[in-house]
């Protein structure tokens, strides 16, 4: 990008931001709100269930195995037929 283009984009963005409305917070609601309660980490971890299961990692592992098998099949398959391969080899031999 050129410098004038960057400057124009920056100024245009600034003008757009200047035209936006200020959020309408209820007067005094946030000023009079209580402070958040601080709780210990052990209380938070106590809420986590102990048996979390595999969360779908079993199906993910099977999908990964299927993709690896597909990649191996594609590596073994030839995408160029014999006649085309012979022409390419002949062209390489001429160089």
Q: Is the pLDDT confidence value at 10 over 70?
A: yes
Nearest CA among 50, 67, 69 for reference residue 59: 67
Candidate ranges 27-31, 46-50, 83-87; pick with highest mean pLDDT? 83-87
Q: What pLDDT sits at residue 54?
A: 66
Q: Is the pLDDT confidence value at 86 over 80?
A: yes
pLDDT band at 69 (very low <50, low <70, confident <90, very high): very high
Per-residue HEC secondary structure of the chain comes to CCHHHHHHHHHHHHHHHHCCCCCCCCCCCCCCCCCCCCCCHHHHHHCCCCCCCCCCHHHHHHHHHHHHHHHHHHHHCCCCCHHHHHHHHHHHHHC
How does the average pLDDT of the chain come out, rounded? 84
Span 41-66, pLDDT tens digits: 999 888 887 776 666 677 888 899 99
Q: Is the pLDDT confidence value at 34 over 90?
A: no
Domain boundaries, the chain: 57-94
pTM (2 d.p.) = 0.33
């Amino acid at each position: 990008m050129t410098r004038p283009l960057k400057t124009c984009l920056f100024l245009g963005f600034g003008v757009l931001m200047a035209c936006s409305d200020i959020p309408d917070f209820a007067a005094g609601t946030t000023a009079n709100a209580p402070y958040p309660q601080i709780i210990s980490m052990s209380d938070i971890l106590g809420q986590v269930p102990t048996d979390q299961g595999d969360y779908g990692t079993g199906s993910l592992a099977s999908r990964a195995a299927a993709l690896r098998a597909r990649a191996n099949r594609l590596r073994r398959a030839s995408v160029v037929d014999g006649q085309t391969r012979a022409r390419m080899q002949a062209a390489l031999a001429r160089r």
